[in-house]
Amino acid sequence: MLKFNKMIRNLFRLHRDQSGAVLIVFALSIPLIFGAAAISVDIGQLMYIEAELQSAADAAALAGTDALDDEDEVKSLAVTYAELNMPVSQNGNVLDPDDVIMGNWDESTSSFTEAGSPSNAVQVTVRRATENGNAVPLYFAQLLGIESRDVEATATASTSTSSSNFCLLALDSNDSGALTLNGTPDLSMPDCGVAVASSDDSAFIVNGTGDLEASVVCVAGGSSVGNNASVSPSPTDDCSDIPDDPLEDLEEPEVGACDETNFSVTGSGNNVTLSPGVYCGGISVTGNGNTVTLESGEYIIDGGGISINGGTFQDDGAGGVFIYNTSSDGSDFDGITFTGNGTIELEAQTSGTYAGVLFFIDPDADSGTDFSIGGTSTTALSGAIYAPEHEVSYSGTSSQSSSCLQIIADTIVLSGTSEVIDPDDCDSSAVTITPEGPPKLRN
């Protein structure tokens, strides 16, 4: 009986003994421990690679915006910068040229449209993926049968631009009065802007009682506006959105043999038609009642410039004209001058190399008066007056009635009661001047 009771007590003692239970629990937990390791280590690895890919995508997209006018160059730059951030020797090829997409970034909707117009953005997708042969290898996850994972990152970068087109662009970078308004000029340009690249404290000067209405007035330096003048909106000084010269790469035409030499019209009541060609010694028209009509095409003025004093100077309305003022031997040449009570009606070509450009003054040659309209001249000029190293001036009571005039010049002086009207109905051939700053990421 005693032995039986002892056995019963030992059985109860054994039932209450938990020695060795931890070992069993540990053995059962081993798969969970390895699973947690797989999650922490391998997910950390994937997050690190994803961050590297995002940096590479950002750099590639930003680099691509430097060459938006050349798709092949965009792709080349993007691939180069992706590889600089993630070397091929360590990561394989992370960017295929086909994954570099050009298109349009719409500020209003914050959306990217592939092949959209205007082309102002680049979208890049970089990958470490099985299809590229460079998927990200995993470590602990291999114990669970997961050997690798695909990781990718996308970046979109666009040029930083304003919605404003620019009618007046003064390119001078240093001088006072790069854009000057004197007297009572009336500039009504509500749909386009004014930009002054000079960093001088008085880069933009307004004297007298002139009026200027524009979409934006952007001045790299400072402004000096008289108390009696009206500028709306107020100039933005220290402005960073100054546009680059949109025509700086415009090819200068070759100057061939003379078709006319020292061409002039005097007296009164003459009707003369000119054909495109090279006019050595310039074009001169004086007297009242004379009408000179330019046939559509390109006119090269080789020395002598253009001087119109009275009468009518017009194109034939059949396709527009392009006028290049230069001096083939590098000597000084006269500018383009419209004075007296003449009527000037000229429109730029709508196609070809010089579409949208009406006057181009050779930037490599010196001149006296560069481009000047004065007296009581009435002008209807449609297109761009491009004088990158010269001055464009309106003075007297001259008036500009065209709704498609743009002036891109080293300096611009508008005096008297001259008027300039904005290009609110320019066609697709008009020169586009938009301010462009550093590209921005749009992720």
pLDDT attached to residue 324: 96
- Top pLDDT among 134 and 334 is at 134
The pLDDT of residue 391: 93
Q: Which residue has the higher pLDDT, 264 or 30?
A: 264
Give yes or no for a contact between 319 and 349, defined as CB atoms under 8 angstroms apart. Answer: yes
141-155 pLDDT tens trace: 787 788 999 999 999
- Which among 92, 237, 83, 100 has a CA at the least distance from the CA of 157? 100
CA angle (393, 399, 402) in 5-degree steps: 100
The 10s digit of each residue's pLDDT in 39-78 is: 778 888 899 999 999 999 999 999 999 888 789 999 999 9
pLDDT of 322: 97
What percent of the chain has pLDDT above 90? 50
Task: Tell me what pLDDT residue 9 has.
Answer: 61
Lowest mean pLDDT among 91-105, 169-183, 356-370, 378-392: 356-370
Q: Is the pLDDT of residue 442 over 90?
A: no
Residue 234 has pLDDT above 70, yes or no: yes
Residue 90 has φ and ψ, to the nearest 5°, of -105, -25
Residue with more model confidence, 396 or 48: 48
pLDDT at 2 over 60: no
What pLDDT score does 152 carry? 96
Q: Say which residue, 177 or 108, is predicted with more confidence.
A: 177
Q: Which sign does the torsion angle of CA 112, 113, 118, 123 carry?
A: positive
d(CA 230, CA 239): 20
Q: How far is CA 262 from CA 152, 322, 333, 411, in A?
A: 68, 19, 13, 29
45 or 24, which is more confident: 45
> What are the pLDDT digits (tens) for 185-201?
778 777 788 999 999 99
Among 41-50, 298-307, 406-415, 433-442, the minimum mean pLDDT is found in 433-442
pLDDT of residue 107: 72
Q: Under a CB-based contact definition with an 8 Å cutoff, are residues 121 and 104 in contact?
A: yes
pLDDT given at position 148: 93
E-strand stretches of 93-221: 100-106, 111-114, 121-128, 136-137, 148-149, 151-161, 165-170, 179-181, 186-189, 192-196, 204-206, 211-214, 217-219
Q: Look at residue 292 in the predicted model and tell me its pLDDT.
A: 96
Q: What letter does residue 97 receive in the DSSP assignment?
A: G
